[in-house]
Structure 1
Amino acid sequence: MTRLLFSAISSLDGYTADADGGFDWAAPSEEVHAFVNDEQRGVGTYLYGRRMYETMRVWQTLGSDPGDVPVIADFGDLWRRADKVVYSSTLGDATTPRTRIETTFDPGAIRALLDSADHDVSIGGPTIATAAFRAGLVDEVQLFLVPVAVGGGTPALPRDLVVPLRLRDERRFADGTVFLRYRVTATAG
């Protein structure tokens, strides 16, 4: 069964970016990056908002140099092989292959995608993910909690929505990052 996965690297106090929009504190160690890569192997399509797409599109070339660190090359390959759907009313054309732009977030279209997909679908970016949570589309939440508190910024999870979760897996890494996998147990509302 195809799942819609929301995965985020977050500060311990729950932010994907700090108050200035920075996220350099979230750079994963090689060990964490290798784990992220393994988690992403089953993803066939990424759903992004404009800002997340603009951040992630560097992977079109990043990791393609023979001298790149193996975990970087591995993720680059995974990212380039996947389809991308970008939800934006301001972005004109996609600048990467296997990418299409949608001007509006349509829960029905995402349900149809999930019904027809043979690989998991990942939704990236807290703003677009909030719309998916509201529509009851998200099946699994994967959080990588980085051992830093940034005091404010872009929240990883919706602030005005109850999302019942059941812990399915956890892992601690040498750098202090903690991975938590949750199954969404009921439709958000």
Structure 2
Amino acid sequence: MTLDGFCDHTAGLPDAEIHQHYTELLAQGDMILYGRTTYQLMEFWRTLLANPSEEKSMNDVARAIDKIEKRVFSRTMKTVDWASATLAQQDLHEEVLALKQQPGRAIFVGSRSLIIQLLQLELIDEFQLCLYPVVAGSGLPLFENLNDRMMFNLVNHKTFTGGALLLYYQPKNE
């Protein structure tokens, strides 16, 4: 996320340290949830598996993303062809409730649209927001179309040498 609140994967400049963080984070989870648009954007990482980058940290992220199970929420897609991906069989609320009942490790949410919906459904246990020291000026705001006040506790943070901050928030019960 940019300083002015926009979600834009092209606005920040992730470096090797940030790539390493996300490689390690993905290894700690069982699954990542995507909407159709983000899933299709993430297919970029598959190209690095076939044609590795000169930057090792990017190749590491590609392997981590390839390995973690992906659940895709889409009304238009009928199939997915990534071996570690499946289409959701239920609506978001039912699917996430069922997933949360299963034993295992973290379930990550990788799509802005799903984050907004899960906030409205009160199904977010923790936010990990990576704040880049960039003002984008325009784009998609992360917290769009939310009408109710929501409070969070800062439970941890990490500062990257390039100036990005990773902020860990958990919902506060009002």
TM-score, normalised via structure 2 length: 0.88
1:128 is displaced (CA, Å) by 1.4
Q: How does 1:130-149 map to 2 (within 5 A)?
A: 130-149=116-135
Higher strand share: 1
What is the match of residue 25 of structure 2?
39
Quick check: 1:85–1:102 contact (8 Å CA) kept in 2? yes
What is the match of residue 4 of structure 1?
none
Quick check: 1:15–1:150 contact (8 Å CA) kept in 2? yes
Quick check: 1:64–1:76 contact (8 Å CA) kept in 2? no
Query: Could you tell me which amino acid in structure 2 is paired with residue 169 of structure 1?
Result: N
1:184 is displaced (CA, Å) by 1.8
Task: Give the number of equivalent residue pairs.
Answer: 173
Quick check: 1:63–1:74 contact (8 Å CA) kept in 2? no
What is the match of residue 156 of structure 2?
169
The partner residue of 1:56 within 28, 42, 56 is 42
Once the two structures are superposed, residues 117-164 of structure 1 have per-residue CA deviations (whole angstroms, 9 ceiling, x without a partner) of 412101111111111111111101011111111123211234524222
Query: Could you tell me which amino acid in structure 1 is paired with residue 2 of structure 2?
Result: S
Task: State the secondary structure of the residue aligned to 1:86.
Answer: strand
The change in CA–CA distance for 1:105 and 1:27 in structure 2 (over 3 A counts) is: farther
Quick check: 1:88–1:104 contact (8 Å CA) kept in 2? no
In the alignment, structure 1 residue 111 sits paired with structure 2 residue 97: yes
Query: Could you tell me which amino acid in structure 1 is paired with residue 7 of structure 2?
Result: T
Query: Could you tell me which amino acid in structure 1 is paired with residue 136 of structure 2?
Result: V
Greater RCO (CA < 8 Å, at least 6 residues apart): 1
Percent sequence identity is 23
Q: How does 1:76-91 map to 2 (within 5 A)?
A: 76-91=62-77
1:36 is displaced (CA, Å) by 2.1
What is the match of residue 153 of structure 1?
139
Once the two structures are superposed, residues 66-113 of structure 1 have per-residue CA deviations (whole angstroms, 9 ceiling, x without a partner) of 664322222222212211111111223212112122376331221111
CA distance in 2, matches of 1:112, 1:103: 11
Structure 2 gap segments, 5+ residues each: none
1:49 is displaced (CA, Å) by 0.7
CA distance in 2, matches of 1:100, 1:158: 27
1:173 is displaced (CA, Å) by 1.7
Quick check: 2:88–2:95 contact (8 Å CA) kept in 1? no
CA distance in 2, matches of 1:112, 1:49: 18
Task: State the secondary structure of the residue aligned to 1:62.
Answer: helix
Q: How does 1:21-32 map to 2 (within 5 A)?
A: 23-32=9-18
What is the match of residue 72 of structure 1?
58
CA distance in 1, matches of 2:64, 2:15: 18
CA distance in 1, matches of 2:4, 2:90: 30
What is the match of residue 14 of structure 1?
5
With 170-179 and 154-163 compared, the bigger mean Cα shift is at 154-163
**RMSD of equivalent CA atoms:** 2.1
CA distance in 1, matches of 2:2, 2:52: 32
CA distance in 1, matches of 2:58, 2:49: 5
What is the match of residue 185 of structure 1?
172
